[in-house]
Structure 1
Amino acid sequence: MSEDTARREDREDVPAGVEGGSPGSPRLVTPALLRSWPLPEPDGTKYSRGLALVVGGSCSTPGGVMLAGTSALRMGAGRLHIGTADDVAMPVAVALPECGTTGLPQDDEGAITGERAGALLEKELSRADAVLLGPGLSDAEGAARLLEEVVTVLPDDTPVVLDAFGATTLPDVSVQVVERLSGRLLLTPNSGELARLVEQETLSGDDEVVEAALAVARRFGAVVGANTWIVAGDKVWQVTTGDTGLGTSGSGDVVAGAALGLLSRRAGLVQALVWAKYVHAAAGDDLAARLGRVGYLAGEIPPQLPLVLGSLRGD
């Protein structure tokens, strides 16, 4: 077995005792389940905890990459790099001093065009431990070109998280790109984005969301998280923690970034998403208890993430 194959399989294994359930009887995600499925220990320096790379944003929506990147660091990633629209790369670096940035070509509206993105990000892509593409992107055509460019350069064993436009452009990219992503792909669409992936206008109720997530997981060889559900293959987990206050602008970027941070720490694909979904929801519950059921901001969630992680470890 090659080293790359061993690394890929290590990311995908789901230990006995924490397997998902059936669509009609999902496995509930609880603190007991998570404690029986511990994350890789965050030992060593920032280099041993991995480099998280976030690619996305635009001149009108730079906050998505910042929320995602901050969340990745809060979940234990050692280093962070952000690729975003050229005009906002420097302001993002100033606002988030923990990251490095790369400016990417943009159009007259300030949206990333995707042109030359692979070459501009080649160094960071070659050494990233996990990549998130999608938060804050504002143009579908540019997002598809960006995904094509990134995957062409990205090593074959690097896990990829696609969120928002990054996920919904999957049907628009080449078969070769889809094949290269299969088996190392994590998707975090909302219900509207999930509907587009199955070519429906809307999804009504949990049953339709789960059915769509199962179809998308099979089609793209992905682990899929939508709403309270996580799907891998034909297995289903459900997070019942969390409340309506999590439905706030930028909250999805936090989830995607949290999963990215855990992947950077060498968590498996399923483990990273199950943990990220639960920790995000529990952080929302903590904020609701202090601030109210609604009204807290997505930017207030990341500081809660390591506190929830600590409570699950018994720190």
Structure 2
Amino acid sequence: MRRIDQAWVRAHPLPPVEADNDKNSRGRVLVIGGAEFVPGALRLTGEAVLRAGAGKLQMATVKSAAMALAVLMPEAAMIALPADADGEIATDAADLLGERLGRCDVVIMGPGMSAAPQTSDLVKAVLARTAQDAVVILDAAALTCARDLQEDIRQRDGRVIVTPHHGELSYLTGVPTEVIAADAAKAAQEVAEAYGMVVLLKGAQSFLASPAAETLMYEEGCAGLATGGSGDVLAGIIGGLAARGAEPLQACAWAAFIHGQVGATLSKQVGTVGFLARELLPLIPRLIDEASET
């Protein structure tokens, strides 16, 4: 098993950004999520997408939160979606997203959402409308729905990414968390092979598995990253790097490395714990540049 470290990322460089590249060449990302209970989560993911270098960003969330989020994130186009009685995105929202899904290079779904009976139907509808060659990242509540969508995911030829922690993988597979923890690398690999997708299993040691590659391990994280919103930032970094042209496994490995490096930097600047997820965001571009230097 190989470690994701400075040597690995330098051996697997990101697609270059040329001086004459415009924003269209760095990809279009659509982030779907949020709810009336957690209206700001999408900001973390959306900003991370742009900080990682994506060219265009659209965000879709419940109508009650959309205007405030649009003002907070003037760099993004905003799509207001209907909500159900619990303040979650309604199932028919996929119809409103329509052609936008087909024109995206990356779709991120799940930040700020809660698992609800209709969530699986919404995820299925989004998968059906998203371009076949796009990368789809399922995070938080959206990834737990994957257990009902195995065939839909397999049809996307390895271009679906999920980012569970041990509890979410337990919900997805029905395997107890203590069994997953006993051999997390094996658990991640088995799910990757069963669904034909890329799995980034987060923890003190994170394991990255895909059906066609050796399992990778990242173990340089820090305690301060175990904070609300940190996973939303990670999902955004993955999406931004994928929009720039990185393949799913590479985007995940780089994102895990950069996320960990940002956490280590803030641990020194702020404290071992107590820094906020939004404080990760401004450091992302510089650390990507530093990791890319040869």
- Normalised by the size of structure 1, how large is the TM-score? 0.87
1: CA distance between counterparts of 2:250 and 2:39? 28
Match of 1:14 in 2: none
1:113 is aligned to 90
Are positions 1:277 and 2:245 aligned together?
no
Match of 2:63? 86
Deviation at 1:207, TM superposition (A): 3.8
Gaps of 5+ in 2: none
Where does residue 187 of structure 2 map in the other structure?
Answer: 212
Match of 1:136 in 2: 112
Distance of 1:130 and 1:205 partners within structure 2: 29
1:61 maps to 2:38: yes
CA contact (8 A) 2:115 2:142 kept: no
Q: Distance in 2 between matches of 1:207 and 1:235?
A: 19
Please give the per-residue CA displacement for 1:50-70, whole angstroms capped at 9, x wherever unaligned.
Answer: 111111110111222111111
Structure 2 CA distance, aligned partners of 1:286 and 1:220? 35
Checking the alignment, whether the CA contact within 8 Å between 1:203 and 1:209 is kept in structure 2 is no
Deviating more after overlay: 144-153 vs 270-279: 144-153
Checking the alignment, whether the CA contact within 8 Å between 2:107 and 2:137 is kept in structure 1 is yes
Secondary structure of 1:203's aligned partner: helix
- What are the superposed Cα offsets for residues 20-78 of structure 1, whole Å, 9 maximum, x if unpaired? xxxxxx20111121111110112311111011111111011122211111111000001
Structure 1 spans left out of the alignment, 5+ residues: 1-25
What secondary structure, in the 3-state scheme, does the structure 2 residue paired with 1:160 have? strand
Counterpart of 1:76, as a letter, is G
Superposition map of 1:242-281 within 5 A: 242-281=221-260
Alignment correspondent of 1:180: 155
What's the counterpart of residue 123 of structure 2? 147
Of stretches 122-131 and 157-166 in structure 1, the one that deviates more from structure 2 is 122-131
One-letter identity of the residue aligned with 2:15: P
Task: Please give the alpha-carbon distance, in whole angstroms, between the structure 1 residues aligned to 2:132 and 2:23.
Answer: 23
RMSD: 1.6
Shift in CA distance, 105/176, structure 1 to aligned 2, threshold 3 Å: farther
C-alpha displacement of 1:206? 4.4
Residue by residue, what CA displacement relative to the aligned partner does 1:111-139 show, whole Å, maximum 9, x if unpaired? 11221x23211232121111111111123
Question: Pairwise mapping of residues 235-246 of structure 1 onto structure 2 (< 5 A)?
Answer: 235-246=214-225
TM-score by length of 2: 0.93
| 1:136 partner SS | coil
In the TM superposition, residue 140 of structure 1 has moved relative to its aligned partner by 2.6
Given that 1:54 and 1:131 are in contact with CA atoms closer than 8 Å, whether structure 2 keeps it comes out as yes
- From 167, 175, 198, the equivalent of 1:223 is 198
Provide the residue aligned with 1:47 in structure 2: 24
Q: Are the aligned partners of 1:64 and 1:250 in contact in 2 as well (CA < 8 Å)?
A: yes
Q: In 2, Cα distance between the equivalents of 1:299 and 1:94?
A: 17
CA distance in 1, matches of 2:7, 2:154: 36
| The one of 165, 173, 177 aligned to 1:198 | 173
Using the TM superposition, give the Cα deviation of residue 229 of structure 1 relative to its aligned residue in structure 2, in angstroms.
1.2
Q: Is the 8 A contact 1:112 1:142 kept in 2?
A: no
Q: SS in structure 2 opposite 1:48?
A: helix
- Secondary structure of the 1:77 match is coil
**Structure 1 runs, 4 residues or longer, greater than 6 Å off:** none
Instruction: Classify the secondary structure of the residue corresponding to 2:291.
Output: helix
| Structure-1 residue corresponding to 2:100 | 124
The whole-number CA distance in structure 1 between the counterparts of 2:110 and 2:176 is: 21
Overall identity of the aligned pairs, in %: 36
> Helix, strand or coil: the match of 1:307?
helix
Residues 238-272 of structure 1: per-residue CA shift (max 9 Å, x gap): 11222111100011111111000011111001100
Counterpart Cα distance in 1 of 2:40 and 2:207: 25
Could you tell me which amino acid in structure 1 is paired with residue 192 of structure 2? A
Matched with 1:232 is 210
How many residues are paired up? 288
